[in-house]
Amino acid sequence: MRELGGNLAYTGNSQGASNTGTYDITPGGLTADNYRLNFKSNELVINRRPVTVVADDKHKFRGNTDPELTYQTDCGNLTGECGLVLGESLSGNLTRETGESVGNYAIEQGTVNNTENPNYTIDYIEGELSINARPAPPPPRILNRSPNLNRSPNQSHNPNQSHSPNQSHSPNQSQSPNQSQSPNQSHSPNQSPNLCLSRNHSRSRQRRPTSMPPSTAHCATRYPARQHYR
């Protein structure tokens, strides 16, 4: 038998096909002298690729918006050709059971299904969304405004404690009965008027008129001394 001439070629829609479906394979291009060649077409069938979708578990506090629902893909229990083709991803979004009360809700397949992904046979494993009760707010902060805030709890106040010259004097403070004023004690020109009156009154008991001593001269302006006679 003589060798066939020409080059084998294929026509039809099978060339370059990658999506799931059935495609025609039509051969041709060969020649032979003294022979009639018959070419027979056939089909290329591309099946769905199995993939397992596992939803990620999520949680949130009651009243918050839902977190984004995500998933992972793998082969599951399959050992043959499975999983996503390199560079491809699935279409669609996961959904969840309705409800906003505290509890657990199933994360459902939603539109991540075979209809939206005709090149894959999806085995879906659902996840769970947990809605937790909101934590109790922290107790209000109470500010201690006590005037004894900086005083030690064991520190007691001594009523007989001496005071600084700048401290105010209590009007009810009693004067020791043993405290006496020396008659010869000199006084400041700014001495109280009552002391001036007391000196003038003591001198009024003399039997002859006297003039004011120099120590009380400053009292003459505000409280003139009286002259007394026998």
The domain spanning residue 89 has which CATH number? 3.10.430
The last residue of a domain, from among 113, 132, 151: 132
Residue indicated by tokens 């077409």 = 41
Q: Is residue 209 part of a domain?
A: no
Q: In this structure, is residue 142 part of a structural domain?
A: no
Task: Give me the numbers of helices (H) and strands (E) for the chain, helices first please.
Answer: 2, 10
Residue 68, domain member (yes or no): yes
* Residue 18: domain span: 7-46
Last residue of a domain, one of 97, 132, 167: 132
Where would I find the H helices in the chain? 193-203, 219-222
How are beta strands 21-31 and 95-96 bridged, if at all? unpaired
Within a domain: residue 84? yes
The answer as to whether 38 is a domain residue is: yes
Residues 55 and 127 occupy one common structural domain: yes
The answer to the question of residue 92 being in a domain is yes
Is 126 within a domain?
Answer: yes
Q: Do residues 63 and 34 share a domain?
A: no
Does some domain include residue 229? no
pLDDT in tens, the chain (230 residues): 567 888 989 888 998 899 999 999 999 999 888 888 899 999 999 999 999 999 999 999 999 999 999 999 999 887 778 999 999 999 999 999 999 999 999 999 999 999 999 999 999 999 999 999 998 888 888 877 665 555 555 555 555 555 554 554 444 554 544 454 544 454 444 554 454 544 545 554 545 555 555 554 455 455 555 555 54
Backbone dihedral angles phi then psi of residue 131, each to the nearest 5 degrees: -105, 120
Q: Rounded to two decimals, what is the model's pTM?
A: 0.55
Query: Which of 83, 111, 132 is the last residue in one of the domains?
Result: 132
Number of C-beta neighbours around residue 134 at 10 A:
10
Q: How many domains does one find in the chain?
A: 2
Percent of residues in the chain assigned helix, strand, coil, to nearest 5: 10, 25, 65
